[in-house]
Amino acid sequence: MDLLPLLFAAPNPGGDGVRPGDAATWQALGSRLGLEGLVAALAGAGLLAVTPEQRVQADQPRLAAEMEQGWIRACAEEALAALQQAGIAAVPLKGPLLAARIYPRPLVRRSTDVDVLVAPAQLDAALAVLAQLDYRLADSAETAHHLRHHHHVILHRSASPPLELHWAALHALGTHIETADLLQDGAVEPHAELVYLAAHAASHDFERPLWLIDLAAFARAHPQLQPARLDAIAQRWHLARAWRQAQQQLVALLGPAALPWPVPALDWQDALVARGQDAYMRLPRKTARRFAVHVACLVGRCDNPWRAGWLGQFAALRAVGDLAERRGLPVPRGWPPLPPFPPALGKRQP
């Protein structure tokens, strides 16, 4: 139950400045976060008094979430087993299998899709194996877009969650995390995995508080983590600033006990990005202003000006191309006219 006192101490766990004080508020908070079962877990730990009626009411969404996540977890296990049986080294990223490892049993951490990581050289073979399970790629235009600008393709199957097949863990923030960077003896190395999870959350502007809670849960499930090694991996991957800001955002959300090591203080750039982050969360979705703030925050999370400048150029050119396509205007083949991602100069495996 180590996560529960952490959430109880949280100054702002729901983003509304109110610390939950009753079963109904805790249940609503869990649903907003995507972390069902808070009421049952707190009651079981003797931290929240509930009536039998409240317990039954709170258990309904938890049981529904358990069934839903059980099916998503089964789909992930099926895909991984098929790939491994075909001799393809595949590991899960994020999702229900991670949640099962790091969260206490009464808590159900919701996931909506399956993420699987393979080596780039085995991408085609992996697609062929998954096709035998009736997984199909998204339409050709979307797949072409993902192949050029992303680090995964999306596959669909009837009555199943989407499956994202990664050939790299992350391509964002002006750098990338390759498959080999994450693995040690065929499994995901915990230090590398935590830095990856933080970078993934940073690349999405920490839009879901649950991504930050994941970091706290992961740290508590892996007491062997060494802060110096985490910092070294982030620096080698050119993600030192993103890693630092992820820790700062986590402490701002859940308080100083969120991590078992001291978190670096904000410098002037971190403070500017934090203000931009607050503005981003308040702005309405799908607006030019929100997109501009998003790009500014991403640039502020890059480790050096060259990468930040590249990221700003690429985002602006890509936005122009997307706008032209939506308005039916011709877009040159291969747009935007920049390499998909800058070379990772000096990047070494941890």
- For 51, the domain range is 3-326
195 touches 237 (CB < 8 A): yes
| pLDDT of the residue at 11 | 58
| pLDDT tens, position by position, 87-104 | 999 999 998 999 999 988
pLDDT band, very low/low/confident/very high, at 16 (cuts 50, 70, 90): low
Share of the chain above pLDDT 90, in %: 47
| Residue-wise pLDDT tens digits, 132-144 | 999 998 877 777 7
344 within domain boundaries: no
Q: Encode the chain in three state secondary structure.
A: CCHHHHHHCCCCCCCCCCCCCCHHHHHHHHHHHCEECHHHHHHHCCCCCCCHHHHHHHHHHHHHHHHHHHHHHHHHHHHHHHHHHCCCCEEEECHHHHHHHHCCCCCEECCCCEEEEECHHHHHHHHHHHHHCCCEECCHHHHHHHHHHCCEEEEECCCCCCEEEECEEEEECCEEEEHHHHEECCEECHHHHHHHHHHHHHHCCCCCHHHHHHHHHHHHHCCCCCHHHHHHHHHHCCCHHHHHHHHHHHHHHHCHHHCCCCCCCCCHHHHHHHHHHHHHHHCCCCCHHHHHHHHHHHHHCCCCHHHHHHHHHHHHHHHHHHHHHHCCCCCCCCCCCCCCCCCCCCCCCC
- Cβ neighbours of 96 (radius 10 Å): 27
Q: What is the mean pLDDT of residues 44-67?
A: 87
> Would residue 35 count as lying in a domain?
yes
- On the question of pLDDT at 113 being above 90, the answer is yes
Give tens-digit pLDDT for 300-336: 998 876 777 776 677 677 778 877 877 888 888 777 7
For 84, 120, 163, the CA distances from 349, given in Å and listed in that order, are 24, 16, 27
Distance CA 267, CA 21 (A): 35
Residue 245 pLDDT > 80, yes or no?
yes
pLDDT given at position 84: 94
Give the chain's domain count. Answer: 1
Work out the number of other CB atoms within 10 angstroms of the CB of residue 327.
7
- pLDDT exceeds 50 at position 153: yes
Least confident window among 35-44, 165-174, 203-212, 326-335: 326-335
> Percent of the chain having pLDDT more than 70?
88
Question: Average pLDDT for residues 45-64, to the nearest whole number?
Answer: 86
* pTM reported for the whole predicted model: 0.86
Does 148 have pLDDT greater than 80? no
Q: Does residue 239 have a pLDDT over 50?
A: yes
**Position 14 pLDDT exceeds 80:** no
**How far apart (Å, rounded) are the C-alpha atoms in residues 14 and 265?**
23
Cα–Cα distance list, 191 to 122, 175, 188, 226, 236 (Å): 25, 18, 9, 8, 13
Does the residue 239 lie in any domain? Answer: yes
Rounded to whole angstroms, how far apart are CA atoms 306 and 296? 14
Q: What was the pLDDT predicted at 311?
A: 65
- Mean pLDDT, residues 70-97 taken together: 94
**Residues in contact with 134: Cβ distance below 8 Å, sequence separation at least 6, in sequence order:** 157, 158
Q: Is residue 251 part of a domain?
A: yes
* 108: confidence class by pLDDT, cuts 50, 70, 90: very high
CA–CA distances in Å: residue 269 to residues 7, 16, 231, 245, 342: 28, 26, 18, 10, 22
Mean model confidence pLDDT for the chain:
85
Residue 149 has pLDDT above 50, yes or no: yes
CATH of the domain at 20: 3.30.460.40
- Does 346 have pLDDT greater than 60? no
Residue 340 scores a pLDDT above 60: no
Kindly report, residue by residue over 196-231, the tens digit of the pLDDT. 999 999 999 999 989 999 999 999 999 999 999 999
pLDDT of 345 > 50? The answer is no
Separation of alpha carbons 253 and 345, rounded Å: 34
Is 333 contained in some domain?
no
